[in-house]
Structure 1
Amino acid sequence: MKKKHIYIYSPSSAVRDKAAYRRGIQRLQALGHEVEVDEAALSTYQRFAGDDRTRVAALSRAAASRADVALISRGGYGLTRILDAIPCKAIAKAIERGTEFVGLSDFTALQCALFAKTGAVSWSGPALGEDFGAEDGPDEIMEACFDDLLQGQGEGTGWRVPPREAEMLAGFRGLHGATLWGGNLCVLTSLLGTPYFPAVDKGVLFLEDVNEHPYRIERMLDQLRHAGVLARQKAVLLGHFTGTRKLPHDRGFDMRTVADRLRGLIKAPVLTGLPFGHVPTKVLLPVGAKVEVAADGRDVFMVWGHRHAPGHRAH
């Protein structure tokens, strides 16, 4: 495995779990990588990793780092506050030079803004603390996917849908050249009606969330549906929706209810089980890339082909 340069920065919430943060850095270093930490990575202002100006400056330094990967320390909240100040052009140029921007959760705001403004592709994937800094160690699948990104070998992913979705897949003819986009449902929905919401037609929309009750998830999906977003997609992929708590009032209303209802309201297939979200086992997904989607029985395959390996700079 070739040694890579990984830049750690904090564009959202303040790092509170310093132990996980340190474990993440040590784990990446143990894998042989050069880890560079942004000067403001541990800054704190209220709930944020520094005030807005500090976090914008951190984004600019990440873009100028010429690292192979710019990896967020954690998600949380903060990027929607600074969307109009994010240096999207500088980040897009950094991506052209070979720096891959990776993150999840609140990072969805940056990814959507970046794609809407520049068309640049970024990666939904791990964060330093919750993934590489996990107390029991990083998940093997997540780590393998991250290594594939570093080595330029990752070209797709696959998963198995629940048995109840097999019949729906029987008539699925596959998708070709569709744009993959999405991320955290709450963050994505908050961007509707702004210049930072990607106008994607005939896309593959993937969604996940954490600590949201199924009725809130359904309400956000309905907002996307009423806005015409879901009708323009070729497929909707539901990842993990974790941290939900069943209530006596629900009387059986759950995420399965939400997914089944959505299938009756839109033409695009709605597939569950995508290995992504606030879970240890997560794949890396290129937001803004063209993908092919196929199915064989209950197995779904999504490929995006070869993308340049970090470190292979464009000239």
Structure 2
Amino acid sequence: MPKRLDIRLLAPSGYAEDRAACQRAIERLVAAGHTVRGSEVVDRVALRFAGSDEQRAADINQLASPDHPLPDVAMAICGGYGAIALLDKLDYEGLKARFAEGRCVLVGHGDFTVIQCAMLARCGIGSLHGPMLVQDFGAGYLREGTWRHFWQTLEGPSMDVSWAVPEGIPAGRVEGTLWGGNLSALCSLVGTPYMPVVDDGILYIEETGEQAFRIERMLYELLLGGVLKNQRAILLGGLGGQRVSEYDNGYDIDHALERFSHACGLPMLRGLAFGHGQDKWTLPFGAKGVVELSNGHAVLSSHRYSHVGVTAGA
């Protein structure tokens, strides 16, 4: 049974188009015994965004203010686009100081990736790459595995997931810092002070609705931009939504990944369920992790990440 938590909603990107899903999600969280605050962000609309840049940045900066209680969890309501416009407006020093004083876990995926990267790069604050209010907890059919794994990971202090891997992948073990998220969001930060410098990293990547050649091009952007330097491995989640045209001559996502694996020289492992898929695991962002391969299975585990039992910067 999850602990009773104080959950604050954030809307750093697009607005919540499905209001019924928002209400359904809030009701589920409350029924589970939690307090949900910040529901006013659900009703904000400014063009395609959930309010002005200043309003959306203020939601996050409120976490730095001693005038407001620090919640246990700060959860993004949905993704879309818009979080990158907030990065120059955030109070990183205030956030770093406040998160050092108390526990608060940031949660989201998709466009929220840029917030997670900036918080790690500028404040050293870890987070959880996990479900969001609208599409996950507000779905007409609540995915039990997603719900259960989120609470298990959130309460910590350890998590692990396992999945089958194709035959022929040799046994082995990789240790490093877990981080990553949406591929296009990561690429938008290349060359900026908001891209974390992660040594000995285990980078996880997912994307949706992008053609295979665009996936390959964005991967090259990370490689040529120096982001993949000192990474130990790349874990791939969903990369669906491609169409193979006559011009492609059979070139598809499998070819794109095979070509890139030769170029980057890093182990690349597919099958990690996170991000935009309906069923997803909650993954630590900015914490140490281990990937072990044996007998046709991969196991990803992590300890001492940001969860409700420790401060988010620990």
TM-score (norm 1): 0.91
Is the 8 Å Cα contact of residues 72 and 127 (structure 1) preserved in structure 2? Answer: yes
TM-aligned CA distance change 1:303 to 1:218, over 3 Å: same
Distance 1:243 1:269 in 2: 24
What secondary structure is seen at the aligned counterpart in 1 of 2:273?
Answer: coil
Pairs within 5 Å for 1:15-164: 15-63=16-64, 64-96=68-100, 97-137=102-142, 139-161=143-165, 163=166
Distance 1:94 1:194 in 2: 24
Distance 2:259 2:273 in 1: 22
Tell me the CA shift for residue 313 of structure 1. Answer: 6.1
Distance 1:277 1:198 in 2: 19
Tell me the CA shift for residue 229 of structure 1. Answer: 2.5
Tell me the CA shift for residue 184 of structure 1. Answer: 0.6
Is it true that 1:244 corresponds to 2:249 in the alignment?
A: no
Amino acid at match of 1:3: R
Is the 8 Å Cα contact of residues 95 and 101 (structure 1) preserved in structure 2? Answer: no
Distance 2:96 2:42 in 1: 22
What secondary structure is seen at the aligned counterpart in 2 of 1:275?
Answer: coil
Distance 2:283 2:98 in 1: 19
Q: How many residue pairs get matched? A: 308
TM-aligned CA distance change 1:310 to 1:169, over 3 Å: same
Tell me the CA shift for residue 200 of structure 1. Answer: 1.4
Match of 1:220 in 2: 218
What secondary structure is seen at the aligned counterpart in 2 of 1:12?
Answer: coil
Tell me the CA shift for residue 52 of structure 1. Answer: 0.6
Distance 1:81 1:101 in 2: 18
Listed one character per residue, the Cα deviations across residues 242-266 of structure 1 (whole Å, up to 9, x for unaligned) are 3333333323222111221122122
Distance 2:222 2:306 in 1: 33
Pairs within 5 Å for 1:170-185: 170=171, 172=172, 174-176=173-175, 178-185=176-183
Distance 1:25 1:58 in 2: 18
Question: Aligned-pair RMSD on alpha carbons?
Answer: 2.0
Identity %: 38
Distance 2:308 2:139 in 1: 25
Is the 8 Å Cα contact of residues 235 and 269 (structure 1) preserved in structure 2? Answer: yes
* Structure 1 residues not aligned, in runs of 5+: none
Is the 8 Å Cα contact of residues 287 and 305 (structure 2) preserved in structure 1? Answer: no
Is the 8 Å Cα contact of residues 77 and 106 (structure 1) preserved in structure 2? Answer: yes
Listed one character per residue, the Cα deviations across residues 28-86 of structure 1 (whole Å, up to 9, x for unaligned) are 11222111124333211111110010001111234544221111110111111111112
Amino acid at match of 1:9: L
Deviates more, 1:140-149 or 1:207-216: 140-149
